[in-house]
Chains A and B, each alone.
Chain A
Amino acid sequence: EHLDHFREAMGVMQHHDAVTGTEKQLVANDYARLLYKSMSHAGEMISEAVGKWSGLANEPSVKVFTCLELNISSCAFSEQNDMFIVVVYNPLSRPVSTYVRLPVKENSYSVLSLNDDGLFQDMQMVPIPERVQKIPGRLSNAVNEVVFRVENIPALGLKFYAVAKQSREEIIEQS
C-alpha cells in the first residue's frame, strides 16, 4: 500500500514536462509535494526493512529516520540525539565506498563501526560554512559535520555505525 504512492507518483512523473523540467511553477510545486508524500510513506517500509535486517524487528522502540535535508547540512535526527545508529544503504548492484556527512551541533563526537567488533572509526569534524547555516528556511542548529568513510558497502546491502556525543577517551573510560 505504501509503495503504491511511489508507483502513482512515478506514473505522473513520466510526463515529458516532468522529465525535462519544463512544467509551470505550480506544477513543479505539485510534483515536489507528490514526491515528498511518497517518500514519507516509504519511511515506514524502510523502517520495517532495516528492523528485519538488523534483527531488531521485534523491538517496538526501533524507529528509522530519513534525512531529506542532508543536501543543506540539516538533519533533525543527528542534531537532536546524543547517541544514535546510522545505517548506510547501497542502492547499487555492486559494492561501493562512500563518505558520510552528518550535521551535528557540538564539537566532539565518536563513531564506532557496528559491522565487526565495534571498533572506533576514523572520523573528522568539519565546520559547516556560514552561508549554508544561513540558507533561508533552514531549520537547523548544526554548525559542524561528522565525516567518516564507509568502506565496501555490499551491493543492495547495509552497514551500521554508532555515533555518540562523547570523545573516544570518555567512551573507553565508561566501558
Chain B
Amino acid sequence: EPAEFISSELYNISINDDGNLIVRWNKQNNMNLVQSFHFYEGAEGPIVEELHHTINEWVSQVVRIYPEEEHIEFDWLVGPIPAKDKVGKEIVTRYSSNLKTDNVFYTDSNGREMLKRVRNYRPTWDLELKEPISGNYYPVTSKISIKDEEKQLKLSVLNDRAQGGSSLQDGAVELMIHRRLLKDDAFGVNEALNETAFGEGLVARGTHYLFGGKVKNVDKFVLKEKELALKLALHPWILGVSFDWNSIDNMR
C-alpha cells in the first residue's frame, strides 16, 4: 500500500515508486491514469538554440531557431507507429494560430504558383462532402499558407517533401507527416499503406520551416519565402573528403 494516497467514492489517487501520480476510478475497474512531469532538453549556443520535445514513445521533435534566420525549424520524428490496437493511424502536425482566415488557405501547385483553397467548397459545383477531412486535403509539394487579410499577417509552412495538407479550422494549417494503415482504402493500390522495416513500422524524420509575419511589402515577403522553399528543397550538398594528411597545417 503506498504511503501517500487520497481517495473518495469515485477516485483512488496514489504515488507509485517512480514518483508518478496514479489515478484509479473506483467504479470502473478498467480505467486508470498516470500523471507525470517531463522535461524538454534544451541546447543554447551562438549558432543555434534548440528544444527537444518528446510527445510520446513514437512522436518527438526538435525545434530550432537560428540567430541569422527568420524561420523556425521543426525537425519531426514519427514512428514506428504502433498497430497492436488494430487501428490504422495518419499522423498530422498542426500549427494553430489566431489568424482570421475565413475558410481560405493556399497550397502550391507542384512548387509553382499558389492555389487558393476554400474549405468545404469547389469553384465549379455545389459540394457535399461525405468525407469532411480527406475532402479538404490537398497536395502540398513545398508550401501551405494562410493569411489574415485584415491584419495583413501571413503564416506559411514549408515542407521538405510532398505531403498532404489542409486548414480544417480557421487560423490552422496541418500537414500529414506519416501514416500506417492496416486496410486498403479501395482507391486502386489494392494493398494497405503499411510499410515496415526491421520488423516494425517505418520511422520517418523530416523538416518543416515555419515562416510568418506582417506582409508590409508583398514582393519582398514572397521572395524571401521562395528563397527559403528552394533552400529546403535543394539543400546544399555536404560531402566529405579524405586525404593523406597528418596535421591541420597540412590540411590548410
Q: Which residues of A contact B (CB under 8 A)?
A: 20-25, 46, 50, 54, 56, 59, 61-67, 70-72, 75, 77-78, 81, 83-92, 96-100, 102, 112, 114, 118, 122-124, 126-127, 129, 131-132, 135-137, 147-150, 153, 160, 162, 164, 166, 171, 174-175
Contact = CB atoms under 8 A, between A and B. Distances in A.
Given A25-B191, A62-B243, A96 B47 contact: no
Interface residues of B, number: 48
Interface stretch (B29-37, B165-173, B208-216, B231-239): B231-239
B230 interface: yes
Contacts of A131: 54, 60, 77
A136 B203 contact: yes
Nearest to B66: A99
A90 B240 contact: no
Contacts of A136: 80, 197-198, 200, 203
Contacts of A147: 47-48
A27 B52 CA distance: 36
Contact of A81 (B48, B227, B242): B242
Given A24-B189, A112-B252, A135-B205, 17 more contacts: A24-B190, A56-B243, A65-B240, A66-B237, A85-B242, A85-B243, A88-B238, A96-B227, A102-B238, A114-B251, A124-B47, A136-B80, A147-B47, A147-B48, A153-B236, A160-B241, A166-B248
A65 B239 CA distance: 6
Contacts of A96: 227, 231, 236
Interface of B: 41, 43, 45-48, 50, 52, 54, 60, 62, 66, 68, 77, 80, 139, 162, 188-191, 195, 197-198, 200, 203, 205-206, 227, 230-231, 234-245, 247-249, 251-252
B248 A171 contact: yes
Given A123-B47, A124-B48, A85 B240 contact: yes
A122 B191 CA distance: 50
Contacts, number: 156
A22 B47 contact: no
Contacts of A122: 46-47
B109 to A, nearest CB: 13
B240 A81 contact: yes
Contact of A86 (B66, B195, B239): B239
Contact of B45 (A78, A100, A126): A126
B60 A129 contact: yes
Contacts of B77: 129, 131-132, 135
B252 A64 contact: no
B202 to A, nearest CB: 9
A172 B82 CA distance: 51
Residue among A24, A90, A99, A164 with max Cβ neighbours from chain B (10 Å): A99
B248 A87 contact: no
A65 B240 CA distance: 5
A137 B242 CA distance: 26
